[in-house]
A and B are shown apart, each in its own frame.
Chain A
Amino acid sequence: MATMNYVCPNCNGPLKFNPDKQMFTCEYCFSEFTPQQVQAQNAGKEQRETYDEREVNRYEQNQAQAQAQGYDAGDDYPVSYVCPSCGAEIVTTSTTAATTCFYCDNPVVLGGRLSGQFNPDRVIPFALSKENAVNRFLEMCGKKKFLPKGFTNKDHVDKMRGVYFPYWFCDQQKSALLTATGKIIRTWRSGNKEYTETKVYHVVRGGSVIINNVFERALQSEKREMLQSVHPYDLSKATPFAMSYLSGFEAEKRDLEKADVQPAVEQRMHNYAEQVLKNTMEGYDTIDTESFSEQTELEAWTYDLLPVWVLTYKFNDRILPFAINGQTGKAYGELPVAPGKLAIASAIVSVIVFALGVLGGMLFL
């Protein structure tokens, strides 16, 4: 009910998106399908399930009202659905848009979460397979000698999951004018005198500034820094959103609206526009802004899903995330330090430094 999964037309096995091949593959008969084929096969089903999702929307609205009235303090309240493959009840958070059935391990897409006003404009499909993401994580951990014991064991690393996170992207065209004081400084020496010649200029730059792809995460429940730091993505690889890309991964629905992130994005756009004009003031040693004004002429927002491999772990009662860009492999995160190991190593270094210091002192006597 209000859920859907993508099945192989040959054997009815679950279809999952394969990042290495950029194709959908059946885990049972190994058939492969292009995204276009899968979308064509499931178009009617997606539309139908989306229609049924109105019930869910209504249910969620009721939940939201209940929270507002103080019945439920949690922002991310649990919602249950039924797995279309095995009939088991799936409990997810209210922002989950795609997940895996905990019983039959089949991918489940909660279609309604990403339909209507929540329908993303674009998606960047996973280009980094889980195997490659795990290897990248292990490669990074391999260089770290002070990780807790067992941190990189298979059981732990296998918990890495591919998640599509929602982002707002903004493009703007601005008419901007920057006036500044530019200085060209020349220094030379003559005898024991140092001369500094400063030439002062009034510098003006004005024109049309285009800034693209300024982004802000559209999910407040996850750590902002993590969601911002896995960037950049190559948006030229983004494709129009299709629900089927989510099959085999998890996905989050936005809970931050454009209005929520717009002030921060506008401010960054403002700063970027000034910086772009400043960058055209070449040949000066220093530039001090006198005034800057800008007006937005054109603006376009998109709501996109971007792929991230996420591994969370608990350490010293803290839950820390480690994220890897699902397209480029750029990693972000905080690795735990085994304080005992590091303290012993530091103590050994201290002892060595002390011994070398004493030996050095003896040599100089």
Chain B
Amino acid sequence: MIKKLSLRLSAAAVALMIALFSTALCFAEVTQQYAIEDDAAIFTDDQLDSLRDKLSEGNERTGWQLILHTSSLGITSELNNYYNKNYYDQKSFAADAVVLVFDLGSNKGTVISHGEAMDYISDQRMSSLGSMLRSYMDNGDYYGATFAFVDTLEQYHSDGIPTGDTFDNITYEQKTNKFLYVLKHYGIIIGIAAIAVGVIMFFVIKSKYKHMGVSGTYDLAANSSVNLSDVEDQFVNQYTTVRTIKDDSDSGSSGGSSGGSTHGGGDF
């Protein structure tokens, strides 16, 4: 009797766990081909089914993991960096991936590209993609936006890497040739610093050859003595001043920083 009861309880526990797991899957579904996290709960079950198919299809054609994420956080600026750091970097997504985020709290969105996808989504393409997605968002058509998003990515992949475009304001050649990039963007600064180091070295060494041994020619302590007859230390007054110390945490850390892994993309 007790044995039967414990068996039933175990079965109930397993059923409960399965039920809970299934519920969780409704909110977050992640595969190697795609991922959907509808935290803002804007899609119906039917829409989610269609979107799964669409994202899966996009993955097959591009090889990139396509991720759709909706939220209500209301991030108003630097969405790209924020969601890259606090969403993409926190999950175990694929290295070659594109994330589409709709932030309903701020009515803004962002596209985050990673790995190979970064080479295909140039500044110009991102701008075009963003404008298109913006128009869908303005109509509240997130479902249509996602379809258009996947279609556009497939088109970009089909068209190949736009070597004539820029990526974060640098050309593809510069992007792939780090040496050229550093040389072009920082060459003058590094060159000036290097020349400054050389010049400083020149004069420091030259000065070390000059007038060695000038100091310490007379030792006053060794050549003097004193016999004191008047010694007076008279207290005159005392005062105290107070100064408010500025908290270190008040200073610095102004302005945003692009934290998180290397990524591309842009807000819209």
Contact = CB atoms under 8 A, between A and B. Distances in A.
Contacts of A272: 220, 224
B214 A203 contact: no
Nearest to A194: B243
Contacts of B257: none
Contacts of B187: 358
B20 interface: no
Secondary structure of the B contact surface, majority rule: mixed
Interface in A173-197: 177, 181-182, 189, 192-197
Interface stretch (B53-61, B136-144, B176-184): B176-184
B238 A362 contact: no
A346 B194 contact: no
Contact of A194 (B190, B223, B228, B245): B245
A363 B21 CA distance: 43
A204 interface: yes
A214 interface: yes
A353 B234 contact: no
Nearest to A358: B182
Nearest to B214: A229
A201 B236 contact: yes
Interface in B188-236: 190-191, 193-195, 197-199, 201-202, 205-206, 209-214, 216-221, 223-236
A358 B183 contact: yes
A231 B26 CA distance: 90
A349 B195 CA distance: 9
Interface string A51-86: 000000000000000000000000000000000000
B91 to A, nearest CB: 25
B237 A200 contact: yes
Given A144-B209, A357-B190, A277 B226 contact: yes
Given A209-B226, A337-B205, A346-B199, A193 B186 contact: no
A146 B238 contact: no
Contact of A337 (B181, B195, B209): B209
A71 B221 CA distance: 49
A199 B190 contact: no
Given A207-B229, A345-B201, A275 B214 contact: no
A275 B221 CA distance: 10
A47 interface: no
A87 interface: no
Contacts of A276: 220, 224, 226
A362 B178 contact: yes
> Could you say which interface size class chain B belongs to?
35 or more
Contact of A330 (B190, B213, B232): B213
A193 B209 contact: no
A260 interface: no
Interface in A246-300: 272, 275-277, 279-280
A206 B223 contact: no
Contacts of B229: 206-208
A155 interface: no
B214 A361 contact: no
A333 B213 CA distance: 7
A357 B228 contact: no
Contact of B234 (A201, A332, A335): A201
Interface of A: 140, 144, 146, 177, 181-182, 189, 192-215, 225, 228-232, 272, 275-277, 279-280, 330-337, 342-343, 345-347, 349-351, 353-354, 357-358, 361-362, 365
Q: Which 3 A-B pairs have the closest CB atoms?
A: A206-B230, A350-B198, A357-B190
Given A203-B233, A210-B226, A350-B198, 14 more contacts: A177-B230, A197-B240, A201-B235, A201-B236, A202-B233, A203-B234, A205-B231, A230-B213, A231-B218, A232-B219, A331-B212, A331-B213, A346-B202, A353-B197
